[in-house]
Structure 1
Amino acid sequence: MILYNQNYEMIGISSEGLSLFGFLTPEDFFRSCNDVSDYFLETSPLYNAQNHYIDLIISQSQSNIQDMQIKLDNGEIMSVKIAVEVVNLKDVNEHYYSVKLLFDGNRLAYVNDKNRWLWDILYLSRLDSVEFKRRILEFSQIAKEKYESLYEAKLLLIDANDTIRELALLATNLKLTEFCQILINIQSTNDEKLLNDEFYKYMQFIDNIENIIKSEM
């Protein structure tokens, strides 16, 4: 996370942000540059010498999320999504901007962080982290409870559309698109081998998100 005041002046950066740009301390970062936009490639859509990128995002994007390419000091170029959220202060007529860099799949491999994809979903969901964890574990419990009946129904060619729709709605609300694709594959085939493959992915996905959530608690 990167924090700006209402004048678009960068006033803070998280340890995750420091790690991304290759710095150990905020002092090192601010000695090197004044703003993360110093790392934007000039060919990127948000690079603009006249306007700050936050102003461009919040004025032009309904979702406040934009694609960007950045170039690190080591020469590596990465594609990221930049998400901006306005933070209003209690009892004070001021606001701040919270900026989150969301990495693509290639960057996930680079930082060797297999868990970050789920926390990127947390940020996009706009849920409180405690509520997000609660809802993920609730979803995983329901998915495990439905597993046997869904598997049996598909093998016996029994209509399982209601169960699939229920699980798909829960997964969609949590933006778990990978699980939704698994459900689509399960719904669209009766081939036993393909079903076994998809149901394996089904439980692997559930076990994965449970392990991530529980490791962070």
Structure 2
Amino acid sequence: MILYNQNYEMIGISSEGLSLFGFLTPEDFFRSCNDVSDYFLETSPLYNTKKHYIDLIISESQSNIQDMQIKLDNGDIMSAKIAVEVVNLKDLNEHYYSVKLLFDGNRLSYFSDQTRWLWDILYISRLDANEFKTRVLEFTKIAKERYEALYEAKLLLIDASDIIKELAAMATNLKLTEFCQILINIQSTNDEKILNDEFYQYMQFIENIENIIKSEM
């Protein structure tokens, strides 16, 4: 996390942020630069010599989550997502900006078109990256265990509402809305062809997010 005052002046950085940029202490960081935007590539969408990137995000973009490319002192260029939240102070007419970079451990997560959507969900869930990955893997394990029982129940026209409610609750907590829609489709039909298609989507979704998470661990 990176903290700014209402004048877009950087006033703090977390230990994870320091590690990401290759520094041990805040003193080392601020001796090297005044702002993380000093590391933005000029080709990045938020690079602007006349306006601060926070101002660009909160005033000109439709989302507070934006793509960014960063070049570190060692020459590494990494893609990241950067998110801005406004923090209002109690009993004071002041506010701060909390900036978050999505990264895994001590490095930024590398994004591809296949994985970007899942890391967007991480931002929405507001969970720590490691906690998010752990909970997603727990979810995929349970979803696989429930697959056969749910499939058999639907084919035999047995009430499967308890299984669907359990899975839907877990998916909702993790903001996995696509999987919730699959469950709704399964619940609302007894047509065998449609069910086969939905159960195929069910397993494809589970295997996809499981592979993405495991590749980042």
Same fold flag (TM > 0.5): yes
In the alignment, the residues of structure 2 paired with residue 160 and residue 60 of structure 1 have an alpha-carbon distance, to the nearest angstrom, of: 50
Q: Name the structure 2 match of 1:108.
A: 109
Question: Is the 8 Å Cα contact of residues 3 and 97 (structure 1) preserved in structure 2?
Answer: yes
Two-structure CA RMSD over aligned residues (Å): 4.6
In the alignment, the residues of structure 1 paired with residue 159 and residue 51 of structure 2 have an alpha-carbon distance, to the nearest angstrom, of: 53
Q: Note the 1:1-217 alignment, pairs <5 A.
A: 1-103=1-103, 107-108=108-109, 121-126=121-126, 140=139, 147=147, 149-153=149-153, 156=155, 158=157, 167=167, 171-172=171-172, 174-176=174-176, 190=196, 198=203, 201=206
Structure 1: tracts of 5 or more residues without a match: 111-116, 213-217
**CA displacement at 1:20 relative to structure 2:** 0.9
Give SS of 2:67's match: strand
**CA displacement at 1:150 relative to structure 2:** 1.0
Give SS of 1:152's match: helix
The AA in structure 1 aligned to 2:56 is: L
The AA in structure 1 aligned to 2:38 is: D
Question: Is the 8 Å Cα contact of residues 171 and 179 (structure 2) preserved in structure 1?
Answer: yes
Aligned residue-pair number = 189
Could you state the TM-score of these two structures normalised by the residue count of structure 2? 0.64
Structure 2: tracts of 5 or more residues without a match: 112-117, 188-193
Question: Is the 8 Å Cα contact of residues 102 and 108 (structure 2) preserved in structure 1?
Answer: no
Could you state the TM-score of these two structures normalised by the residue count of structure 1? 0.64
In the alignment, the residues of structure 1 paired with residue 147 and residue 74 of structure 2 have an alpha-carbon distance, to the nearest angstrom, of: 47
Question: Is the 8 Å Cα contact of residues 2 and 12 (structure 1) preserved in structure 2?
Answer: yes
- CA deviation profile, 1:27-62 (whole Å, cap 9, x unmatched): 111111000000000011100000000000000223
Identity %: 74
Question: Is the 8 Å Cα contact of residues 20 and 108 (structure 2) preserved in structure 1?
Answer: no
